[in-house]
């Protein structure tokens, strides 16, 4: 009986945390942040700008001056150094879920939550996209990063620093460069 009671109490506490995370994230219109991304032992950093519900731009501080841009249904990787633009379907990524309030709430509600030293992790699996774990700060419930494992076992870790919320962002920032 005590074991069952423990799991019920734990389940209710975590359900409340999920609800708070969703409410906190749904109150965000824009985000600006710095990031560190590690993919297959390759470490990159830069900054990102997010404007809900359709826009994201991440500028990488590397020699190719890579940019990841989402503008509605388009996901583009642009290499400024070579003036090359590569198009991908945004529907195949978790970015569409992060930008859309309903999809994000569904993902968090249906994910498995765990407590870590500095916050919460919510793990979600999609048959189309793979595994993702979103990490949230324990005190303020802000998004602090994610880890993604695709179907080829490629692992990407994305850590957020210097998060700023609800600052004005111009839509022109998310313009996709002309195809070449």
At residue 114, the pLDDT reads 87
Residue 111 CA to residue 108 CA, distance in Å, equals 5
Please tell me the predicted confidence (pLDDT) of residue 179.
Answer: 62
At residue 157, the pLDDT reads 94
The continuous run of DSSP H or E covering 100 comes out as: none
Q: What is the pLDDT of residue 51?
A: 94
pLDDT at 10 over 70: no
| Residues whose CB falls within 8 Å of the CB of residue 90, separated by 6 or more in sequence, listed in order | 70, 72, 73, 74, 75, 96
> What confidence tens digit (pLDDT) does each residue in 74-102 have?
899 999 888 899 998 888 888 888 888 99
| pLDDT score recorded for residue 78 | 92
User: With bands split at pLDDT 50, 70 and 90, how would you rate the model's confidence at 4?
Assistant: very low
Tell me the mean pLDDT in the region 101-105. 92
**Predicted confidence (pLDDT) per residue in 106-158, tens digit:** 999 999 888 888 889 999 998 888 899 999 998 899 999 999 988 788 899 99
Is the pLDDT at 11 greater than 80? The verdict is no
Helix, coil or strand: residue 52: coil
Question: Mean pLDDT, to the nearest integer, of 153-176?
Answer: 92
User: What's the CA gap between 160 and 36, in Å, rounded?
Assistant: 7
Q: What is the pTM of this model?
A: 0.86
């Amino acid at each position: 009986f005590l074991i069952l009671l423990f799991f019920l109490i734990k389940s209710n506490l975590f359900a409340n945390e999920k609800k708070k995370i969703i409410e906190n994230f749904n109150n965000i219109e824009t985000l600006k942040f710095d990031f560190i991304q590690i993919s297959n032992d390759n470490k990159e950093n830069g900054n990102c700008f997010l404007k809900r519900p359709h826009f994201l731009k991440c500028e990488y501080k590397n020699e190719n001056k890579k940019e990841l841009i989402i503008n509605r249904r388009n996901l583009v990787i642009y290499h400024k150094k070579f003036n090359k633009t590569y198009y991908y379907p945004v529907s195949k990524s978790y970015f569409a879920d992060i930008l859309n309030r309903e999809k994000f709430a569904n993902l968090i509600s249906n994910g498995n939550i765990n407590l870590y030293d500095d916050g919460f992790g919510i793990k979600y699996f999609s048959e189309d996209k793979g595994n993702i774990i979103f990490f949230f700060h324990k005190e303020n419930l802000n998004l602090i990063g994610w880890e993604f494992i695709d179907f080829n076992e490629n692992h990407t870790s994305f850590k957020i620093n210097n998060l700023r919320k609800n600052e004005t962002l111009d839509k022109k920032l998310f313009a996709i460069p002309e195809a070449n």
